[in-house]
Structure formats: structure tokens, C-alpha cells
Amino acid sequence: MSYEIPFNRPWSSGREVEYVQACATSWHTSGNGPFTKRCEAILEDVLGAPRVLLTTSCTDALEMCALLLRLQPGDEVIVPSFTFVSTANAFAIFGARPVFADVRPDTLNIDETRVESLITQRTRAIVVVHYGGVACEMDTISAIAEHHGVTVIEDNAHGLLATYKGRQLGTLGALATQSFHETKNITCGEGGALVVNNPELVERAEIIRDKGTDRARFLRGQVDKYSWVDLGSSYLPSDLTAAFLQAQLEAREDIQQRRAEIWQRYESELRAWAESCGVALPHVPTDCEQAFHLFYVLLPDVETRTRFIQHLKARRIQSVFHYVPLHLSDMGRQLGGHDGQCQVSEDVAIRLARLPFHTGLTQDEQTRVIDAICEFEI
């Protein structure tokens, strides 16, 4: 079925084609060209991070984190169960065991009060996901990690340009990852970045991204030839991809302003309906500035959610659910996941519906969505 109002629609700033054409005629279309370097410089400036490395995806950036931590079979990595599969899979493929943590019922972020009880002598990292671009309770999590000598990694796929107590998300862990997938605020179709906040990890991160070679040292004139010196893979995107991304990054303020307007209108005009129907809307703590990545409604039960999605579908409006809890997935169960393990995750997963939300959503389209929702009877 084709939807008149889809859940997501890619948006162009207007300069993407210009930049891609410039790259195509420059005769440097492979990775680490001028557009790659400009994108990395923009991100380093915006975040205030020591080093940002563009990658082919957020998943690949997470895999680089696993390599940087030198994870071995038997190591454990704490991850929220209510997240996309890459948050766990990127570590599991190196033999590490994902330990599933439940989430808070308000922000749907990892529940910081449950993290410490999951730490064992084998724990190597805590991976946080800032769901919807709303920050996790990072002070508490960072203190726990420091006390136990484990690394904090931010899966910041949703949270670029958001803050926690005035600090940029993506700069609060030793490592962080970004996503520029088609569904994200800033996109190049498929793409990501590794944010290296620990300067001691920068050089090895460059080696890992360059297939395990010291090519970056060679290009800086530090060695007279480069060779295979460590584990790594082909995590570097083409400069064509970076050219598209540069146009989006340059338009970041306009993108964020438009998305803020869409989010705030949903919240304002759906509040009365939600309160009268026992529906929860997204919660943003006062010490957080969110990224305006998504908007969802938490309906009373799974049957109501099914009717809600069908109600919108009948009006050619697409609404989707978000995440089967990882511990209840086929792979999660193979790793020891079981029913009742993460009760909040299990509850919200069957009640949550995401609304159409993208930078190009027009006022008329949003009016149709809001009107259709307000007609829905719980």
C-alpha cells in the first residue's frame, strides 16, 4: 500500500546534488577526500570532540568500538533491551555477551538504577542509547562505570545536536557513534561516524578504519610506507557519500528548527487528546535539550495500538511500532534472554506507535495526522 503521508521521507537541503557532482568531477571519489575531511571538521567543531571519523554506518562505528576495546569471547557488554539490533550485534559478533538492561518508563532510556546490579568481573562496557535524542542519566551511569573501571559508549544514533546538562550528546563517553541513515535528522542515505573522546584511542581508531593499516601515518609523513599493523576493516565511506552529508551538516540549524516546530506542534495539539484517553506522550527531562528525532504515543495496550495503526492506515497515513525487545528476539533468546527479564521494555514495545516525522512534513500533512488521531476512539 502506498501512503499519502509516509512515516519518513528523505529531505534535501538543496546543495546535495551540487556537492556530489563536484566530488564526481574532482577525481577523488574514494574515502578520506576533501568532503570527508570537511564533514569530520564540522562534527569536531560542533561537538568539541578530539576526533571524529566518518564511517559507512553507525553499526560499523559500533564495531570499531568493539575492536578498540579488544573484546574477547566471554567479555560482557551491558546494553538496553529496547534498542535497535546493532547496539548489541556489533559486540556479539566479536564474541562478547550482551547483557540486557531494562529501560525507564518515562524516557525509555536505559534505567540507570538497574545498571550496577548487572556488572560482573567480565563487564567491559556500558552502552547507552539516547532514545529519541533525549539523554540518558549520564552522571549516574558515568559514576558507576568509573567505580567499576568499565568504558561508557554512547550509541548516539538519535541524539546528534542534543545536550545533557549543557553538554553535547556524543561527548559523554570515551567513545560515541552517530548515524546518518535515511531516517535520521541529518542523512546521507547510509552513513555514520565514530566520535573518539579519549585522545589515547585516536591513532588506533584511524588504523582500524583503514583496514588495520597505518595509512594515516603515511599520509602525514610519519612513516615512509604503510602496512598491516592491527585488526581492522573497510569502515571508510566514499567521498561521494560525504559530499551529500556535508550539504546536510551545513543546513543543520534549519533542519533542527523545522523538526522542533513539528515536534512541538504534535505535543501541543495532542496533549488534551492524550490526557483524556490515557495515552502517554514523550517525556523530556528539564536538564535535557532533545534532538527532535521522533514523536511517539504510548497507547493503553497492544490491541489499541493495532487499531490505532489501522485507523491511520485507512486514512493513508503510516504509523509504525519500534523495536522488539532484544532479549525476546530469536537471537536474544539464544543468548539467554527470557520473558519477564526486562518488564518495562516488554510493556512499551507492544504499546508504542511512532507518528510520521521528517523534516519535510508539511503543515497540511501534520494537520491531517493530528485530526486523524483526535478522531480515534480508545
Residue 26 CA to residue 33 CA, distance in Å, equals 10
Pairing of strands 288-289, 296-298: unpaired
Residues 225 and 245 in one domain: yes
Can you give the CATH number for the domain in which 193 is found? 3.40.640.10
Residues 30 and 146 in one domain: yes
Q: What's the pLDDT at 230?
A: 93
Cell numbers at residue 268, please? 501541543
Residue 351 in any domain: the answer is yes
Residues 6+ apart with CB under 8 A from 202: 50, 51, 196
Q: Which of 217, 175, 210, 213 is nearest to 194 (CA)?
A: 175
Residues 220 and 297 in one domain: no
Residue 1 in any domain: the answer is no
Q: What's the pLDDT at 27?
A: 86
Residues 315 and 244 in one domain: no
Residue ending a domain, choose from 250, 279, 314: 250
Residue 242 CA to residue 29 CA, distance in Å, equals 9
Residues 68 and 206 in one domain: yes
- Rounded CA Rg of the chain: 21
Q: What's the pLDDT at 106?
A: 98
Residues 190 and 327 in one domain: no
Residue 320 CA to residue 314 CA, distance in Å, equals 14
Q: What's the pLDDT at 45?
A: 98
CA dihedral 262, 268, 273, 276 (to 10 degrees): 150
Residues 94 and 187 in one domain: yes
Which amino acid, one-letter code, is at 367?
Answer: T
Residues 259 and 284 in one domain: yes
Q: What's the pLDDT at 221?
A: 81
Which amino acid, one-letter code, is at 100?
Answer: F
Residue 10 in any domain: the answer is no
Residue 338 CA to residue 336 CA, distance in Å, equals 6
Q: What's the pLDDT at 299?
A: 98
Residues 67 and 200 in one domain: yes
Q: What are the beta bridge partners of residue 151?
A: 125
Q: Which structural domain, as residue segments, surrounds residue 229?
A: 16-250
Residue 165 CA to residue 64 CA, distance in Å, equals 28
Residue 67 CA to residue 210 CA, distance in Å, equals 13
Residue ending a domain, choose from 200, 224, 250: 250
Residue ending a domain, choose from 218, 250, 282: 250
Q: What is the total count of domains within the chain?
A: 2
Residue 2 in any domain: the answer is no
Residue 92 in any domain: the answer is yes
Which amino acid, one-letter code, is at 44?
Answer: E
Q: What's the pLDDT at 222?
A: 86
Residue 154 in any domain: the answer is yes
Residues 259 and 201 in one domain: no
Each residue of 72-93: b (16+ CB within 10 Å) or e?
Answer: eeebbbbbbbbbbebbbbbbbe
Residues 199 and 270 in one domain: no
Can you give the CATH number for the domain in which 294 is found? 3.90.1150.10
Task: Please state the φ and ψ torsions of residue 78, each to the nearest 5 degrees.
Answer: -85, 125
> What is the full per-residue pLDDT of the chain (378 aa) written as tens digits?
799 999 999 999 999 999 999 999 998 999 999 999 999 999 999 999 999 999 999 999 999 999 999 999 999 999 999 999 999 999 999 999 999 999 999 999 999 999 999 999 999 999 999 999 999 999 999 999 999 999 999 999 999 999 999 999 999 999 999 999 999 999 999 999 999 999 999 999 999 999 999 888 888 888 888 899 999 999 999 999 999 999 999 999 999 999 999 999 999 999 999 999 999 999 999 999 999 999 999 999 999 999 999 999 999 999 999 899 999 999 999 999 999 999 999 999 999 999 999 999 999 999 999 999 999 998
Q: What's the pLDDT at 254?
A: 98
Q: What's the pLDDT at 350?
A: 98
Q: Which of 221, 220, 265 is nearest to 367 (CA)?
A: 265
Residue 147 in any domain: the answer is yes
Task: Please state the φ and ψ torsions of residue 153, each to the nearest 5 degrees.
Answer: -120, 130
Q: What's the pLDDT at 247?
A: 98
Residues 234 and 292 in one domain: no
Residue 3 in any domain: the answer is no
Q: What's the pLDDT at 219?
A: 80
